[in-house]
Amino acid sequence: MAKLEDYFKNEETAGKIMKLIMPKSGLKSMLLQPSGEAFILYVNNIPVIYFDGNAITEMYLLGAKELHHDWLPFDVVKDIRFLELPNVESIGDEVYLGGLQMVSAPKLIRVGDWCDISKESQEFDAPSLKFVGKGFLRGAKNLKKLNVPNLEKAGSYFLEYNEELETLDLPKLEGSLCMCCRQNQKLSRVFAPKLQDIYDSFHVVTKLTILDLPNVTEIIDSFTSKCEIQDVRLPKLTTIDRRVLSPSIIEAYQRNEIAADSTNFLRGIETVQNASTIKTQEPQFIKDYRDR
């Protein structure tokens, strides 16, 4: 198998030639070493000359609409740091996106189960994303920015270990969160106005200051650290269990209980008062008999 050094005298010349022979391959940048062995690598049916021992660090896939678990060999994926997917709409199950620092996928709609990236990843930008399966980004330890404003459904283990994420804005997320956000020490703001239930989630959130969940009715085995949350909005919360230890959430639950009891009491009084003022009407046949 031919080596890169057999074709080019130095690394600078190699870089210039590679730009000429791969103008549409989708590779923006390579770390070239003159000792790599060459072979043909197909990326979304586009032939790419790849040199073993070198590293593809940036990739731009213009024609790809789907990614599957075997989209690239692991030895290639692990070195990619920046990935742009301008037309990808779907990512399948068990797709590993490597050591990416940033993912940009403006048309992405669906992500399957156990799609993950390494702990180095810092940004995931997918403004059209609507559905993610189990384990989405669970291992992205250094994730700092997540842009998924149209996300409607998320599987379990969603964002499980993301120690650098500070803000979680999910304006369209519906249903339940289960086993999610369990190790997110720096999380300070959570906003999910359509979310309804939370189970086994948000265990380590010691810096949380804003919790805005206006439609959540049930919180079970979650918020198990004794964190004081400055701004809590849980007007519909009616069920918690003893494993919920946040004083702020417990207080919100108790306020709702008192308000519900007061409302039920006033409704009972109103019912009794209405019943006592009902006038019994004389049946028509009795009136007719009396008037004879």
The pLDDT tens digits of the residues spanning 94-105 come to 988 877 888 889
| pLDDT score at 284 | 58
Residue 2 confidence class, pLDDT cut points 50, 70, 90: very low
> In the numeric block, which tokens belong to residue 10?
């130095």
| Residue written as token pair 């249903």 | 175
Mean pLDDT of 180-197: 93
Q: How would you class 265 by CB atoms within 10 Å of its CB: exposed for 0-12, middle for 13-18, buried for 19 or more?
A: exposed
Range of lowest pLDDT (57-71, 119-133, 152-166): 57-71
pLDDT at 180 over 80: yes
Q: Torsions phi, psi of 275, nearest 5?
A: -65, -35
Residue 43 confidence class, pLDDT cut points 50, 70, 90: low
pLDDT at 16 over 80: no
Under 8 Å between Cβ of 68 and 44: no
Q: What is the pTM of this model?
A: 0.74
pLDDT at 18 over 60: no
Q: Sign of the C-alpha dihedral, residues 258, 264, 270, 276?
A: negative
CA distance 222 to 269: 37
Q: What's the pLDDT tens digit per position in 193-243?
A: 999 999 999 998 889 999 999 999 999 999 988 888 999 999 999 999 999
Mean pLDDT of 2-28: 47
Under 8 Å between Cβ of 160 and 138: yes
Of 223, 249, 221, the closest CA to residue 236 belongs to 249
Under 8 Å between Cβ of 226 and 248: no
Under 8 Å between Cβ of 57 and 81: yes
> In the numeric block, which tokens belong to residue 123?
């940004």
| pLDDT score at 282 | 54
| pLDDT score at 63 | 75
- Of the CA atoms within 13 Å of residue 48, those in its CB half-sphere come to 23
| pLDDT score at 64 | 81
Residue 270 confidence class, pLDDT cut points 50, 70, 90: low
> In the numeric block, which tokens belong to residue 39?
């072979």
| Residue written as token pair 């990416």 | 100
CA distances from 104 to 28, 43, 46, 110, 141 (A): 14, 18, 20, 14, 18
